[in-house]
Structure 1
Amino acid sequence: MSSTQDDLTGLLCEAKDLLSVPIHGIISDGQLSIRRAVATAMPQVPHQLCHFHYLREAGKPLYEADRHAKKELKKQVRGVRPIERAIEGRDDEEAEVIHAYCLAVRASVTDDGIPPLSASGLRLQQRLQAISNSLDRMEEKRGFPKNLND
């Protein structure tokens, strides 16, 4: 009902008195009132942060940088729809190639992944780089399609 230090200290002392086994360690999140309550109620018992919370906090700066990078990359590829409109109604080979590249860009920007283990901004950069490399190879071999040079 309450998460104040005094309330938590009372609960911890009550739990310690009711247990028939010794308490050798405590794991909790990093909430200040919990840390202080543990230090007051059981000063000799080692207290550490939960691994999940610790790793989540440690990974936040990396996650935020990756999220910002992904947002900036998405801004650079927003022009896919006008290209798709330009080839609507065409069924020639060039239009199919352009359409395939547009689909590749669309698929790249919609994959989010699960942070912090999956850096979706980094993955987006790698996918867009692969598309760009493919376009560069195509330009070297055959030149860009007429409407993409602009």
Structure 2
Amino acid sequence: MTSIEAVRGDLTAETTDAIVNAANSSLLGGGGVDGAIHAAAGPRLLEACRRVRRTSWPDGLPIGEAVATDAFDLPCRWVIHTVGPNAHRGQTDPALLASCFTRSLDIAAELGATSIAFPAVSAGAYGWDPADVARIAVQAVREHPKPGIELVRFVLFGDRLLDAFRHALT
């Protein structure tokens, strides 16, 4: 059985097998979680993302899709990049947001990861309500088969997000 938890913390310090990056479709870095992960992983992460763009996703990673790279200078093994829907641009389909979590779990399972840490995808600059993100994320993770994954951790940077995820987990 998979353990699912919510903690307050720094995603870039997680020692789970994989962490999930709330990326933009370019995969070339940005602000918030994306910027912090790129800064902590070092410049090789950007080069790995450029390679993904050249080889697999030349038009950018679609919303709700996920792709993995090595983690380089981070304490985890892999970074799984996913693109959340942007509510400010009218992207409010809960299925697209749920797909960020389920596709990331699919990639983690393919890699052989036994643990994964998620941020609150789309709850920051992309304008989704934290309670909605928490409800959709927790439901998506609970309903996903998660083969081989023993721990799913939501790592949240503020009390409002942590409270929303703890409520969704009850």
Instruction: State whether TM-score is above 0.5.
Output: no
TM-score of the aligned structures, taking structure 1 as reference length: 0.28
Greater gyration radius: 1
Q: Highest relative contact order (Cα 8 Å, sep 6+), 1 or 2?
A: 2
- Structure ranking higher in strand proportion: 2
TM-score by length of 2: 0.26
